[in-house]
Structure 1
Amino acid sequence: MFDFRKLRIWQEGYALTLQVYKLTRSFPRDELFGLTGQMRRAANSVPHNIAEGCGRNSRPELLRFIVIAMGSASELESETLVAQGLGFLETEMAEKLLNDIQRLRKMLAAYYQKVHAAPGPATRPSSQAPKLPSPHS
């Protein structure tokens, strides 16, 4: 078990979640329980599953939660494409979000491989927890 806040993948997932909340504020009100909610849940799922996996005392459990986070990132990518197709996101905003999601998915896959290949217990990051951006910025 180690501090998930030290992982760059968690930091990126956290930042992505804040980005999704900000972008979905402008979605139509009738989408609050539709696409808005789905995108927010998928975005939230990424850092929360990383955190939960880090909280387990088992490499197989950590790997399982990383796979779930990758699935949530893929779901968010699909939902972003739908939001763009419906005109809820301007092309520039959608492309930035899609690029950020794809980058995070690659980072998750690399971390999965690192943990899977590492001998002994799951690798512990050594740096201190970062100062996180405010959800209101």
Structure 2
Amino acid sequence: MSTSFKDLLVWNASMDYVTSIYKITSDFPDSERFGLASQLQRAAVSVPSNIAEGSGRYFKKEFVHFLYQARGSLLETFTQIEIAFRLGYITDQVRDQLIETGEEISKMLNGLIKSLKD
């Protein structure tokens, strides 16, 4: 691909999402450091990582595959965010904001996938 992944709006938005996830999980109980907090962080990190990896692939079809992986990881964060809410680690306001931001990233991923498939 001729465009650097760092120039992609979806990559930048997902990097901001990772930062938000890390800030929020820093307030989780110590007992969750290697549990839910770690799982949520890894899933969030996987989103921009897959975008970057896919952008370096030679064929568009490969890039699209990694964008699907990124979308799957993003949806994984939604479940983990809901678990964090149900356990009382985050408020409904924080949950709603994270999901809303994630849904915007999902729309961007879907748009990029569509543009690459056309």
With structure 2 as the length reference, what TM-score do the two structures score? 0.96
Instruction: Supply the distance in 2 between the matched residues of 1:50 and 1:104 (Cα, whole angstroms).
Output: 12
Deviation, structure 1 residue 28: 0.6
Deviation, structure 1 residue 58: 1.1
Q: Secondary structure at the match of 1:77?
A: helix
For structure 1, list consecutive stretches of 5 or more residues without a partner in the other structure.
118-137
The residue identity in structure 2 corresponding to 1:30 is: S
Instruction: Supply the distance in 2 between the matched residues of 1:82 and 1:109 (Cα, whole angstroms).
Output: 25
Deviation, structure 1 residue 102: 1.1
Q: Which residue of 1 aligns with 2:117?
A: 116
Q: Larger RCO: Structure 1 or Structure 2 (Cα < 8 Å, ≥ 6 residues apart)?
A: 1
Structure with bigger gyration radius: 1
Instruction: Supply the distance in 2 between the matched residues of 1:33 and 1:69 (Cα, whole angstroms).
Output: 22
User: Does 1:26 find its partner at 2:4?
Assistant: no
Q: Which residue of 2 aligns with 1:44?
A: 45
Instruction: Supply the distance in 2 between the matched residues of 1:84 and 1:104 (Cα, whole angstroms).
Output: 21
Instruction: Supply the distance in 2 between the matched residues of 1:87 and 1:104 (Cα, whole angstroms).
Output: 25
Q: Which residue of 2 aligns with 1:64?
A: 65
For structure 2, list consecutive stretches of 5 or more residues without a partner in the other structure.
none
- Count, aligned residues: 117
Q: Which residue of 1 aligns with 2:88?
A: 87
Deviation, structure 1 residue 94: 1.1
Deviation, structure 1 residue 57: 1.2
User: Aligned residues: percent identity?
Assistant: 34
- What do residues 97-130 of structure 1 show as CA deviations (whole Å, max 9, x unaligned)? 011111111111111001110xxxxxxxxxxxxx
With structure 1 as the length reference, what TM-score do the two structures score? 0.83
Q: Which residue of 1 aligns with 2:5?
A: 4
The residue identity in structure 1 corresponding to 2:15 is: Y
Deviation, structure 1 residue 90: 1.1
Deviation, structure 1 residue 89: 0.4
Instruction: Supply the distance in 1 between the matched residues of 2:115 and 2:86 (Cα, whole angstroms).
Output: 36
Q: After TM superposition, where is structure 1 displaced by more than 3 Å over at least 4 residues in a row?
A: none
The residue identity in structure 2 corresponding to 1:74 is: L
Deviation, structure 1 residue 25: 0.2
